[in-house]
Each structure stands twice: as C-alpha cells, then as structure tokens.
C-alpha cells in the first residue's frame, strides 16, 4: 500500500508478468498517442515561463525494457498534444487567416495520424502488434510530428501570425533539407497556410484593393493621407506613405515586394479616376499558392506591366501630362514671356504697393487680361494659372547711391501658381510646384532688373542730342550700356540657353519612353532639381553674389532716373520755339552745370562702378574655383568673364 500511494498508481504493473505488462503498455501507449491518460501512464502539464511543459510518467515498477520502449514513443504523444492544442486555440479567425488556414491543414494531418493510430489499435486487437512493432511503425511519423511541434511551439511563444508564420514554416523546411519526407510535409503546410495570404495578394495586384481584415498583409494603408493632400503637402507624402511596406515580408516575396507595392498603387490610382482597373484574367493568372516553378512571380510581373502601362497611358493621353508641363513651362519658366511683359506693364502700379495693400483679386484679373490678349490665349490650360502675393512686413535697407531705405513691395513678393487636379497632382505635387515657383521668382526678378536697366538705357537715349560730354550723365550713359548688356546676358542668355532649354529637352525625351508613373516622377524631379542647382538657387554663396549684383543694378537704374530728371530742364510748352539753327544748338545750354554737384554725382557713379567690378570679379573667381566640383558652373564662368572682357574693351 505504501508503494502504491507513493507512486500515485492504483495497482502496480510490476505485479504482472512481462508478457502481460507489454499488452497493458501497448494499450496505454496507443491511448497516450491520442492524448488519453491511462492507469499506468499519466500526463502532467506544467506551466512554464513562456510555454507549457508536458511530461509523461510511468509506473516505476514497469519492466525496464518496456519503460525504455515506451519513453521512445512519448515524444510522438507530446507532439500530438501540442499540435492539437495549437489547432484548438488558433482556429478562430481573430488569430488571422494564415493561422486559420495553417490550423485547418494541421487538423487534416491529425486526422491522418489518428487513422494510423486506429489501424495500429486494430492490429493490436488482432494480436499482431508488439511494443517493438509499435515503435517501428511510429518512427516515420515521429520525425514529422516533432518538426511540426517545433514550428507551433515557436509560433505560440512569439504569437506569430500572417507572414511570420509563413517565414517560420519555410525556414524550418529549409532546415530539414536532409529529410525529404519532413521537408515535403513542411512545404505542403506552407502551401496550405499561404493560400489565404495569396488571396489577399491577388486582390492587391489585380484590383489595387487591400482586403486584409486582420492586418496580416505586408502592405500598410495610411488613410489619414487623402489624395487631396498632394496639392497642399510640401513634402508630397501621399505617394510615398499612403501605401508602404511593413516589416515581416514573406521570404518568397521579399525580392519582388517593391513591384507588388507599386502594382497595387498604380491600380488604386486608376480606380480613383473611375478607370477600369481589373487586370485581364487568364487561365494561369490565379495566385492560389507559390511553388518552386515560380509561376506566381510571372503573374505578378505581368500584372505590374499591365498596371504601369495603363496608368502611364492614362496620364499621358486622357489627362495630357505633356500639355500641362508645356503650359507650366510657358508661364513659370517664362518660355512665352510676352504675357508677362504685358502683365508687368498693366500691373505696375498695383505691384508697387506694399504687400498687405496689394489686391490679389485685381492682380488676378489683370493676369487673366494679359493671358487673353497675348499668344497665351491659344493655350487650353492657361486658366489654371493663378497669382500669389506673400504678406511680408520686413523692410531692408541697402547702401545704394542715394542711401535711402528700400521697402518690400508687391513686386518682391509676387509669384505665380498653377492649379493641378488628380491624378496629375501625383507628378505636379505641391512640392514640385514650389520648385517651379522658386525658379519663377528668380527669373521674374531677373526680368524686372532687365526692364529697369532698359528703362535707364531709354532715358539716356532720350538725351543723346544734348551736350552731356564731361558730365555725370555721360559717365552714367557708358556705364548703362555695360550693365544692361551684362545683366541680360547673365539673367536670360545663360539660363535660357544653357539651363532650362537643354534640361527640358532631356526631360521631355525621357518622358516619352517612361514605362511607369514612378519613372515620370523621377525624370520630372530630376529636371527641377537640376534647374534649381544650375540656376544657383541651391548654392547660397553664389546666389548671394548674384542677388547683390541685381540689387546694385536696380540701385543704379533708380539713380540714373533721378540724375537725368534732376539735371535737365526743358522749356515750357508755352514758350515760343526758336526757328534758327543757332536756336537748336542752344539746347545744350539747357543742361545746368553745377560744378560741386556734378563732381559729387560723378564720384558716386565711379564708386558704384568700382563696387560692381569687385562683385563681378568675385563672382567670376568663385565660379572658376567651383567649376571642378560642379562642371556646369564653367559655362556661367565663361559668360561672366566674357562680359567683363567686353566691359574692359568698352
């Protein structure tokens, strides 16, 4: 009795003969193989830190040889219990579609296993099964069961779902490469578990829809980024972050994950446009599973080619991307400058006001008038052009000839914008339009400087008939020819001939051969970045020099107007006109010569000329030294140095 109570078994099996013990052990082992405790074999489950530990205890009085054989079969019994527990706990849909499919495959496998146990039990009832024979028949299944139990233990401990389960199965299959039977079983389990995952993948690459109720797919959708954000977001996050790759991509899709992502994105764009996005079905296009023949990869590539081709054609043909880009080039890159000249003429008074006093509505109406009355009227997209005036309270003072503070006006804060709608906003996003506006502001200001210098030149031309030799006006006239010519060369000759046109032609050629919208975006962004860089807008040191030269030209133009208007007095129209030749020659006497004042003004002009030459020489030196790192600067250096040589020649 003491031995019975200590061991926990009701009747010690050791009281029986070995032949009888074997029959009892076979019966109880068969029960243990399907998770049923016996009289002499008990099952104890202990809760560990991460998982459960299952132990099998036998009557210590059992024959040692029988104990040894029984213990060899216990791992099979333990694997059955672990697998069965996993199936019961992971069969619910909240654990994910992959776990649900994996559990279904395991349940089917356990049915085959239980059928084997039933057949062994039948042989036992017929008296044809020994414990040694039972061990023999269990060995092939033991390896498979242990491999599956290893997988489900790792999946349970780490709470795997979705692609993590598929990766675990595939890695375990590769690890069992030496055991063909086990490897084939694990590959079959991977196939079964991946069917639900491949269904999600199929809807994405064929329709552009994420049908992922349990968050298992490796592509995430950020619904907080609507397509309308492209016209407002300066970082253009929509195209990069609306759909993105998550961690845990299935290993069999890792090399083609980027293609899968872009395929669905393209289809989604077309669906948002109301365009038919269904990939043409075929007999072999179903993505039910993956295999060693890599047929699924061919299906994905075919879907990508269809989606990319359809979207590019849609963007180019239905929405006329090229026409829109050409229109933007006309206005924001000043390809057709006649409308801008007319606009600057009729909006001169409004742009001369302070920014907070400028009427944007009036500027817009003047802009529309300039567009309708110039060559821009034939452009079908000119209505998308709008004007912007940034409100700024800043005032700056410069040491010009007159030494007066210069206030910020609407002219300094004026810019143009362009209305872009979906889906062209993918290419012409707020970020891209901002780059266009930066280039426009630079060109627009160059145009303003050029107009001011031309105005100064015309003022000088108006007094050519007067005798100004030896006066400040004569010196200013010579300086005007040099500066106006130089500013025009830098502001327009170089930018138009060596920056904008060549880069535009290169981009246009590349767009014609682009096979996807991402290639279109890449070529377009490259064009804008290259123009920004070659217009010196990304080189602060050089830009500062150019802005200083433009500022000096504006100061000189204003000083010239003041000099001539304050130095020449014409007869009143009411005074009688002299008819003699001598009277005509006396016009030179209309110039008031004040020796002190003339010397002061001449010194100011000479000072300006010296400062201008210094800045020009400094710019040429920086360009020459930087041309090794930035080869395109060599062209601008030649222009600047060439102008300086012509200046010296004059």
pLDDT at 479: 53
CA distance 285 to 292: 16
Min mean pLDDT across 148-152, 387-391, 561-565 is at 561-565
Q: What is the pLDDT of residue 283?
A: 53
The values of phi and psi at residue 607, to 5°, are -65, -45
| 47 or 173, which is more confident | 173
Residue 588 in this model has a pLDDT that exceeds 50: no
Q: Where are the domains of the chain?
A: 13-158, 192-318
* pLDDT level of residue 601 (50, 70, 90 thresholds): low
Which tens digits make up the pLDDT trace of 379-426? 899 889 999 887 654 444 334 433 444 568 888 899 999 999 999 999
Q: How confident is the model at residue 551 (pLDDT cuts 50, 70, 90)?
A: confident
Nearest to 260 by CA among 208, 311, 327: 208
| Residues 218 and 261 sit within 8 Å (Cβ to Cβ) | no
pLDDT, averaged across the chain: 82
- Inform me whether the pLDDT recorded for 286 exceeds 80: no
Residue % of the chain over a pLDDT of 90: 50
- Residue 597 pLDDT: 55
What are the residues whose beta carbons fall under 8 Å from the beta carbon of 486, sequence distance 6 or more? 616, 643, 647
Strands in 379-437 per DSSP E: 385-389, 395-397, 405-407, 414-418
H helices of 568-587, where? 581-585
Q: Is residue 280 scored above 80 in pLDDT?
A: no
CB-based contacts of 292, cutoff 8 Å, min separation 6: none
Q: What is the pLDDT of residue 609?
A: 72
Average pLDDT over every residue of 274-284: 70
How far apart are alpha carbons 225 and 233 in whole angstroms?
Answer: 10
User: How many other CB atoms are found less than 10 A from the CB of residue 131?
Assistant: 21
User: Per-residue pLDDT for 445 more than 50?
Assistant: yes
Confidence band, pLDDT 50/70/90 cuts, at residue 3: very low
Please tell me the predicted confidence (pLDDT) of residue 566. 62
């Amino acid at each position: 009795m003491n031995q019975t109570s200590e061991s926990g078994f009701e009747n010690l099996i050791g009281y029986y003969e070995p032949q009888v013990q074997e029959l009892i052990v076979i019966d109880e082992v068969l029960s243990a193989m399907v998770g049923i405790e016996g009289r002499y074999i008990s099952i104890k489950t202990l809760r560990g830190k991460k998982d459960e530990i299952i132990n099998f205890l036998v009557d210590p009085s059992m024959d040692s040889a029988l104990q040894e054989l029984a213990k060899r079969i216990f791992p099979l019994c333990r694997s059955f219990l672990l697998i069965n527990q996993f199936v019961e706990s992971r069969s619910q849909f909240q654990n994910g579609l992959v776990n649900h499919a994996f559990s279904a495959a395991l349940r089917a496998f356990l049915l085959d296993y239980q059928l084997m146990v039933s057949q062994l039990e039948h042989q036992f009832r017929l008296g044809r099964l020994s414990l040694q024979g039972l061990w023999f028949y269990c060995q092939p299944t033991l390896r498979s069961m242990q491999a599956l139990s290893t997988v489900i233990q790792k999946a349970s401990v780490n709470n795997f779902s979705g692609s993590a389960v598929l990766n675990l199965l595939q890695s375990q299959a590769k690890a069992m490469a030496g055991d063909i039977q086990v490897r084939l079983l694990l590959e079959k389990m991977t196939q079964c578990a991946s069917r639900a995952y491949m269904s999600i993948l199929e809807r994405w690459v064929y329709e552009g829809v994420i049908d992922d109720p349990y968050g298992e797919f490796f592509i995430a959708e950020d619904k907080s980024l609507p397509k309308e954000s492209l016209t407002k977001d300066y970082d253009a996050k929509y195209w990069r972050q609306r759909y993105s790759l998550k961690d845990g991509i299935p290993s069999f899709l890792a090399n083609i994950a980027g293609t899968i992502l872009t395929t669905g994105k393209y289809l989604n764009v077309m669906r948002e446009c109301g365009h038919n996005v269904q990939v043409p079905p075929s007999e072999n296009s179903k993505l039910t599973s993956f295999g060693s023949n890599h047929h699924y990869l061919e299906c994905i590539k075919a879907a990508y080619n269809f989606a990319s081709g359809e979207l590019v054609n849609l963007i180019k043909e239905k929405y006329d991307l090229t026409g829109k880009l050409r229109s933007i080039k006309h206005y924001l890159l000043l390809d057709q400058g006649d409308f801008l000249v007319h606009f600057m003429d009729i909006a001169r008074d409004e742009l001369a006001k302070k920014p907070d006093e400028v009427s944007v509505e009036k500027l817009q109406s003047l802009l529309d008038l300039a567009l309708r009355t110039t060559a821009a009227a034939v452009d079908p997209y000119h209505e998308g052009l709008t004007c912007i005036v940034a409100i700024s309270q800043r005032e700056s003072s410069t040491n010009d000839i007159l030494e007066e503070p210069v206030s910020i006006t609407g002219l300094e804060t004026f810019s143009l914008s362009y209305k872009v709608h979906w889906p062209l906003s993918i290419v012409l996003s707020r970020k891209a339009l901002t780059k266009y506006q930066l280039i426009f502001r630079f060109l627009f200001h160059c145009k303003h400087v050029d107009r001011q210098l031309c105005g100064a030149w015309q003022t000088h031309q108006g007094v050519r008939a007067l005798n100004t030799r030896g006066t400040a006006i004569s010196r200013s006239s010579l300086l005007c020819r040099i500066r106006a010519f130089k500013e025009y060369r830098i502001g327009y000759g170089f930018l138009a001939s060596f920056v904008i046109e060549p880069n535009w032609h290169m981009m246009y050629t590349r767009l014609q051969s682009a096979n996807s919208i991402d290639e279109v975006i890449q070529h377009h962004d490259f064009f804008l970045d290259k123009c920004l860089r070659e217009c010196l807008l990304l080189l602060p040191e050089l830009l500062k020099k150019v802005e200083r030269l433009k500022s000096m030209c504006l100061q000189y133009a204003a000083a010239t107007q003041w000099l001539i208007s304050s130095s020449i007095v014409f007869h009143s129209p009411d005074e009688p006109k002299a008819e003699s030749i001598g009277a005509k020659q006396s016009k030179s006497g209309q110039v008031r010569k004040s020796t002190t004042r003339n010397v002061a003004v001449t010194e100011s002009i000479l000072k300006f000329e010296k400062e201008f030459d210094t800045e020009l020489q400094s710019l040429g030196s920086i360009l020459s030294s930087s041309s090794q790192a930035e080869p395109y600067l060599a062209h601008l250096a030649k222009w600047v140095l060439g102008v300086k040589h012509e200046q010296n020649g004059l």
